[in-house]
Amino acid sequence: MTTPMEPEIIQEIESTPEVVVAEVVAEASPVEATPAAATSSPRGGGARGSLRGRAPRAGGRGGRPPRERGEFEQVTIDARRVARVMAGGRRFNFSLVVVIGDKKGRVGVGLGKGVDTALAIDKATRDAKKHLFTVPRTASGSIPHQVSMKYSSSTVEIIPSKGRGLVAGSAVRTVLDLAGVTDVVTKIHSRSKNKLTMARATVAALKKLRSA
């Protein structure tokens, strides 16, 4: 809606050229100019440009701090599902053997049982932390002397061998690797394939070591 012009302005318009008329009309009824970015639709190029130039969200992936690594490394060497026959049917439990170590001489073996794997792993990890011990090692990461130990039906022999690296298999290798032991050769004198007894035999053998 335009504002009514005063009589003096109208008389001046009638006696002025076309260019001057346009200037007088603009002074009599000013119209506010809107910027192009405000009149453009959200789908226009101006809106897209503003969205592209904005800063990333604080809670986005770019601002997420890196996950801290734990003190010990954890390896599950055996997992079994045990079934019990009850009056209402069969009930299943899980039994897991976990080995933890920092590869700097500390190692532990734990056993955990639960109705699901997450609970069993949690129990096994806590049990392994309760049984942590430090393995005496030489400057090269080997063991001071030869040692042999029997646990249940498994017998494990560990022999130092300079420059050979870690020569072992099954659960014995996992325990020695997480303990940070190198340059040894191992022998398993057993027909049993039970990884829990092999791991505990290895732990018992390492506990017999004496510092040089």
DSSP, residue by residue, 64-121: PPPPPPPSSEEEEEEEEEEEEEETTEEEEEEEEEEEEE-SSSEEEEEEEEESSHHHHH
Tell me which H or E stretch contains 186. Answer: strand 184-188
99, part of any domain: yes
- Confidence (pLDDT) at 38: 44
Domain that holds residue 153: 135-207
51, part of any domain: no
- Each residue of 157-202: pLDDT tens digit? 999 998 899 999 989 999 999 999 999 999 999 888 899 999 999 9
157, part of any domain: yes
- Confidence (pLDDT) at 105: 92
Domain boundary among 133, 148, 183: 133
CATH number of the domain encompassing residue 106: 3.30.160.20
C-alpha–C-alpha distance, residues 183 and 161, integer Å:
5
Q: What is the dihedral of CA 143, 100, 189, 194, to 10 degrees?
A: 180
- Confidence (pLDDT) at 51: 52
Indicate whether 200 and 179 sit together in one domain: yes
- Each residue of 21-80: pLDDT tens digit? 444 444 544 444 444 444 444 454 554 555 555 655 655 555 555 555 678 899 999 999
6, part of any domain: no
* Per-chain mean pLDDT for the chain: 79
139, part of any domain: yes
Indicate whether 103 and 125 sit together in one domain: yes
Indicate whether 142 and 162 sit together in one domain: yes
Q: Is the pLDDT of residue 209 over 70?
A: yes
Domain boundary among 133, 158, 180: 133
Tell me which H or E stretch contains 133. Answer: strand 133-134
CA distances (Å), origin 100, targets 1, 105, 193 = 82, 11, 21
Indicate whether 121 and 97 sit together in one domain: yes
pLDDT, average across residues 113-131: 94
Indicate whether 88 and 120 sit together in one domain: yes
pLDDT, average across residues 96-102: 95
The total number of structural domains that make up the chain: 2
Look at the block and give the residue holding tokens 């506010």. Answer: 32
Indicate whether 139 and 199 sit together in one domain: yes
Indicate whether 166 and 187 sit together in one domain: yes
- Confidence (pLDDT) at 37: 45
Residue type (1 letter), 196: L
Q: What is the dihedral of CA 156, 131, 95, 181, to 10 degrees?
A: -40
pLDDT, average across residues 137-150: 93
C-alpha–C-alpha distance, residues 186 and 96, integer Å:
24
Please enumerate, as own/partner, the contacts of 26-32 that have beta carbons within 8 Å and a separation of 24 or more: 28/3, 29/2, 29/3, 29/5
